[in-house]
Amino acid sequence: MPEQRQTIAALSHLLGAGEVSSRELVQASLDRIEEQDKELNAFITVTAEQALAAADAADLARANGTAGPLAGVPMAHKDIFCTAGVKTTCGSRMLENFVSPYDATVVERLADAGMVSVGKTNMDEFAMGSSSETSYFGAVKNPWDTARSPGGSSGGSAAAVAAGLVPMATGTDTGGSVRQPAALSGVTGFKPTYGRVSRYGIVAFASSLDQAGILALSAEDAALVTQVIAGFDERDSTCSPAEVPDYAAELDAPLKGKTIGIPKEYFDAGLDSACGDAVHAALEVFKQQGAKLRDVSLPNLSLAVPTYYVVCPAEASSNLSRYDGMRFGHRSEDAGDIESLFKNSRTEGFGDEVKRRIMTGTYVLSAGYYDAYYLQAQKVRQLISDDMQRCFDEVDIIAGPTTPTPAFKIGEKIDDPVQMYLNDIYTVSVNLAGLPGISIPCGSVNGLPAGLQLIGPHFAEARVLNFAHRYQMETDWHKQVAGGGQG
């Protein structure tokens, strides 16, 4: 059997050469989950029977010569992707027993490619959080230090990949929820351009910000998976019809003559100095490959978090209004009339962070405050987007830290929402502008991973993946395994 942490590219090669079967890979993944997940709490649901049946189908397809390159590789889905016949809980009591009648487009396309889902990963409730502590099913633990958070909201996916339970897991990124846990857990986290991947079947949080993403071991793996899930879907009116390029074909393009923008605002007093040193060391690797560095400015960066936390809760309050105890989801047994049914079902079904965001969003959308808050936030959102675009008029890519600190302890920030929100300072502007971004491991801070974020212009996924891949060809941070050693 292959080692515990193997990339999709490596596993695909082994499967193609007949050195291992999909059933063996999937069974090994299930065994690791059984052995390690009691401590990590990365999974909400494990679908062993379905996974082994899908593995057998993939092995048969390979034997018949009809399998694609990803067929038979195990993976997992964040529990916000609707999956037919499997619980989709969003980490909430509200959907604790909800079984989806259909597949999300991302789920459908990966299944069509022959990838084998072994289960659904834990997450912050309705993707609202940056630490994977708000889940109704308990906090996720970071494999590097189980007293620490793996990040969020896609923390279960990040922890599962970091621990080698699966080589890849899906995530969603509304304000950094793929890239931030990737940085804190020492894996690669890729968020495509808004509209590049269909949102159909992803339980909505903030519709103008949500985007499906990938947590994997390398940029090459992210390219292979994005190739499958990207592209137009008529069931999502926000999905772009733009042609999908061959991402893998552009991974090795030389960086000589390319320019990397370094926003001065990223390196202020809020950044842990050791994280800053790791990022600066990473930038030197790009210089050695012929890329040029240029100082740029994002003058409205300080407004990104407050803008996000007006726009995001406003959309969440609207999207979550459907959970009323009547049609689906949790229904309170303590109700005497329709009003108490609505109130009690929502009170019992939602956790504190979700309630906080619903209340905030309802407030900023109310008649007396809409212009002062929501409308103003949309104007600032455009300024933030304009800042990014001006940078791309001068540089090919923007680089900086993904998070201001390495992984923090569980419980350290959960009672201070503002401190928790500030953990997304470097990531939320990418969502506000709808841009593609990736976080890759770039160093170690007191034995914990540090993340480098690379951001590209709209639909420049190939460029972002190219820069990340070239960095990973020259370094081995992405190969480091929790507990020491290399994968």
Amino acid at 442: C
Backbone φ and ψ for 117, nearest 5 degrees, come out as: -80, 130
Spot the catalytic one: 177, 218, 345, 429: 177
Q: How does strand 259-263 pair with strand 212-216?
A: unpaired
Residues 416, 418, 422, 428, Cα dihedral to 10°: 130
- In whole angstroms, what is the distance from residue 450 CA to residue 278 CA? 7
Which residues lie below 8 Å from residue 321, measured CB to CB, with a gap of 6+? none
Cα dist from 167 to 29, 117, 333, whole Å: 9, 11, 42
Does residue 153 have an active-site annotation?
yes
229: tokens are 């899930």
Does residue 177 have an active-site annotation?
yes
How many of the other CB atoms lie within 10 Å of CB of 252?
A: 11
55: tokens are 């593995």
- In whole angstroms, what is the distance from residue 313 CA to residue 362 CA? 8
Return the closest-CA partner of residue 23 out of 136, 143, 118. Answer: 118
- In whole angstroms, what is the distance from residue 298 CA to residue 301 CA? 6
Backbone φ and ψ for 442, nearest 5 degrees, come out as: -135, 5
Q: What is the CA radius of gyration of the chain?
A: 21
Return the closest-CA partner of residue 8 out of 160, 167, 163. Answer: 167
Buried b or exposed e, range 209-247, using 16+ CB within 10 angstroms? bbbbbbbbbbbbbbbbbbbbbbbebeebeebbeeebeeb
Spot the catalytic one: 29, 100, 132, 153: 153
Does residue 78 have an active-site annotation?
yes
Spot the catalytic one: 12, 22, 78, 149: 78
- Residues catalogued as catalytic: 78, 153, 177
